[in-house]
Each structure stands twice: as structure tokens, then as C-alpha cells.
């Protein structure tokens, strides 16, 4: 039975229509794709090709000292320019601003074939620690309004290079999409005196049906009105607006949970393309009381088509309860610890 659901975070409607896909298991699960090569001579992110990338900004050495664990570099084809001054032009109906900001790439591992689902926990923790470091550093630039940390995994998620990497874009503007989320969260805070994320997390934990997993510091759940099939959000239990305020214990907890959820997707859905993003209060509003940072993991299983584009209403063919149940039942620990062969 299909059902319209309204997102409490944006007030947008989505149509949950499971009949379009049948049961999630046969429609979506498949064998994990064969891995890429561990080393590709022409890949600019593979070890030995460091001279092909722009000047390195940060490098963590590999344990034992041979080579590197991860690197941060400026994007070779940046969307935003670091040396650019902020210059506004405001005319009626034609506001513009120079594309000043930062566009960095975090090369997550020297191994071309790996993905965070298959990395050791300590390695995922090093990636998240580096996210935090760059997030704080870029947020300090007076031109920057908002820092977006994200990963595109697979061609269907928009990546142009297969080598595992994530990106950091620090921009001088805040989108109207994020403004809407901030506005709804603030309105809820003003009306009820409660954080909408904390309140919903409590309700979801009590109901249980959309919970994927939980730990001391984090809760992973399929959102009630997710527009994307198999979307999972990871919420810190501690109410904090900005990802930059994550504690060392939370970094450890998030690396365990992010890796675990990605393993559920990898083994449960056959290594689908996905994006993940860290949704956080803007750099210039990092201390607001009404927001609650979180991670959104968005598998790219379904296509956006005419109805979505025309109506602004997404169709999700997998009920979040069914998605959560399938992902909950993936045995992440007994699966192969390393790359599949």
C-alpha cells in the first residue's frame, strides 16, 4: 500500500510506494561487484603518482612508516578558487558572488580497490579525524559560510575517479535547501522547546522498526520519510549543532558505526553506488541551540524521473521499515574482512 509521508525536517512530501519494486530483497540485493585493481598505473591517486596531484596539504603516514595512509590535496579541477576575494554584485533579480572558497580531495587509502566498508576501523577513524581537522581549519576562513564533507562512491553517485576518495567544499553561501532545514529546526525549537532531531531519535528508539543499529554515542535509522531507497541517517546521541564539536570518543564511535552501516550496504545490497554527506550547522552558525548534526547515507539505487522533477515529490519504492529490517539482518561481522576476490 502506498503512502505519502512528510519530512519533519523539510516539510517535503515523499511517496512511499513499495508496490513499484516488490519486496526489497529480490529487487535490490545482488552479489557484490568484483573489485577494481589494487593499483592502476594511470590513476593519479595511486601510490607512486603523487607528483600528478597538486601540492599536498596533509598526509598521514602508514603504520610502520612505509608510505602513506591518506592524503589531502586541493582538487585539480576546483569548483571554488582559494585565492579569490569575495565580491558581491547585487542588482534586482541578479545577485552574484565570486566563486571563492576551497575544494579539497581526501584520498582515503593507497589501495585503489578498497572502500570504507572494507577498511579497518582505525583507518576509518583516521579519515573522520581528518574530516574534522579540515572542517575546523576551513571554517576559520572569514569568507566561508558553510563546509560540506561528502563522498561519492561509484559512477552512479557522480564520481569521476574510482580510487577511494572524499571531498570537502567550503563555500561562501548557504543554500536555500539548508536554510529550510535550519528554519524548520528553529521553528520546532521555538514552539516546543525541544530539538526535533533529539525528539525523533527518542521516538524512533522506542518504536524500533526503523532502527538499523545503535551504540553508546550514535543511532543509525532509516528516516520515516526518506526520499531515497535504503537511506540511513546516523545521529549522535549528544545534542550538538556542529560536526566540528565531535569528541574523540564520538569520533571513535562514529567510525565504527559508519563502517558498519557501509558494510550493511556493501554485503546486503551488493556494493551499491552511494553518497554520504555530513549534515551540520553552517560554519558561521556553529553554536546554534536548535540544530543537531548527523550523517546521511544515500544509496543511488533508484533514478529520479519526470514525476519527481515535475512535482517535487520523490517516490521511494522501499518502505524505510523494510529497508531497516533488511540492513539490520546483514551479518556484518561474519562477512569477509578484506577485499572480495
Catalog residues that contact Zn ion under the rule CB under 5 A. Answer: 40, 43, 45-46, 112, 163, 195, 197-198, 239, 292
The SS3 of residue 257 is: helix
Nearer of residues 110 and 299 to Zn ion, judged by Cβ:
110
Work out the widest C-alpha separation in the chain, in whole angstroms.
61
Nearer of residues 23 and 76 to Zn ion, judged by Cβ:
76
Q: How far apart are the first and last CA of the chain?
A: 40
Nearer of residues 188 and 264 to Zn ion, judged by Cβ:
188
Residue 165 CB: number of other CB atoms within 10 A? Answer: 21
The SS3 of residue 226 is: coil
Strands, E, within the chain: which ranges?
A: 3-6, 13-16, 58-61, 68-74, 88-91, 94-97, 102-107, 146-153, 165-171, 211-214, 218-221, 232-236, 274-279, 294-299, 314-316
Distances (CA, A) of 168 to 20, 106, 183, 214: 36, 8, 24, 27
Q: What single-letter DSSP state applies at residue 283? A: G
User: Least Å distance between CB 252 and Zn ion?
Assistant: 21
User: Least Å distance between CB 163 and Zn ion?
Assistant: 3
Query: Residue 234 forms beta bridges with which residues?
Result: 220, 295
Nearer of residues 96 and 192 to Zn ion, judged by Cβ:
192
Nearer of residues 136 and 198 to Zn ion, judged by Cβ:
198
The SS3 of residue 193 is: coil
Nearer of residues 181 and 264 to Zn ion, judged by Cβ:
181
Sequential DSSP letters for 47-110: TT-GGGSSPPSEEEEPTTSSSEEEEEEE-SS-SSBTTPPP-EEEETTEEEE--BSEEEEEE--S
192/226 Cα distance (integer angstroms): 24
Distances (CA, A) of 145 to 1, 89, 226, 256, 279: 43, 18, 27, 30, 14
User: Least Å distance between CB 109 and Zn ion?
Assistant: 9
Nearer of residues 185 and 301 to Zn ion, judged by Cβ:
185
Nearer of residues 98 and 215 to Zn ion, judged by Cβ:
215
User: Least Å distance between CB 71 and Zn ion?
Assistant: 12
User: Least Å distance between CB 202 and Zn ion?
Assistant: 10
User: Least Å distance between CB 318 and Zn ion?
Assistant: 27
Amino acid at each position: 500500500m502506498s503512502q505519502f509521508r512528510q519530512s519533519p525536517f523539510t516539510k517535503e512530501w515523499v511517496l512511499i510506494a513499495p508496490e513499484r519494486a516488490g519486496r526489497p530483497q529480490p529487487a535490490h540485493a545482488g552479489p557484490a561487484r568484483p573489485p577494481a585493481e589494487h593499483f592502476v598505473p594511470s590513476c593519479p591517486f595511486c601510490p607512486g603518482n603523487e607528483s600528478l596531484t597538486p601540492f599536498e596539504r596533509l598526509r598521514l603516514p602508514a603504520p610502520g612508516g612505509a608510505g602513506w595512509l591518506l592524503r589531502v590535496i586541493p582538487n585539480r579541477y576546483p569548483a571554488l578558487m582559494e585565492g579569490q576575494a569575495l565580491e558581491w554584485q547585487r542588482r534586482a533579480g541578479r545577485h552574484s558572488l565570486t566563486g571563492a572558497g576551497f575544494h579539497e580531495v581526501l584520498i582515503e587509502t593507497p589501495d585503489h580497490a578498497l572502500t570504507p566498508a572494507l577498511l579497518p576501523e582505525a583507518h576509518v577513524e583516521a579519515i573522520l579525524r581528518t574530516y574534522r581537522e579540515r572542517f575546523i581549519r576551513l571554517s576559520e576562513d572569514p569568507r566561508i559560510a558553510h563546509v560540506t564533507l561528502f563522498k561519492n562512491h561509484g559512477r552512479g553517485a557522480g564520481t569521476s575517479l574510482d580510487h577511494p576518495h572524499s571531498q570537502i567544499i567550503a563555500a561562501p553561501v548557504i543554500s536555500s535547501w539548508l536554510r529550510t532545514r535550519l528554519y524548520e529546526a528553529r521553528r520546532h525549537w521555538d514552539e516546543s522547546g525541544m530539538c526535533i532531531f533529539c525528539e525523533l531519535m527518542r521516538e524512533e528508539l522506542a518504536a524500533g522498526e526503523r532502527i538499523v543499529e545503535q551504540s553508546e554515542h550514535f543511532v543509525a535509522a532509516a528516516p520515516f520519510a526518506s526520499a531515497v531507497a535504503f537511506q540511513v541517517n546516523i545521529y549522535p546521541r549528544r545534542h550538538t549543532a556542529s560536526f566540528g564539536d565531535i569528541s574523540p570518543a564520538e569520533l571513535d564511535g562514529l567510525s565504527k558505526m559508519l563502517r558498519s552501516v557501509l558494510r550493511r550496504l556493501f554485503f546486503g545490497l551488493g556494493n551499491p553506488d552511494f553518497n554520504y554527506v555530513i549534515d551540520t550547522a553552517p560554519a558561521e552558525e556553529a553554536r546554534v541551540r536548535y540544530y543537531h548534526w548527523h550523517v546521511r547515507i544515500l544509496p543511488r539505487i533508484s533514478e529520479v524521473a519526470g514525476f519527481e522533477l515535475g512535482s517535487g515529490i520523490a517516490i521511494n519504492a522501499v518502505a524505510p521499515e523494510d529497508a531497516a529490517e533488511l540492513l539490520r539482518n546483514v551479518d556484518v561481522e561474519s562477512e569477509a574482512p578484506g577485499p572480495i576476490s
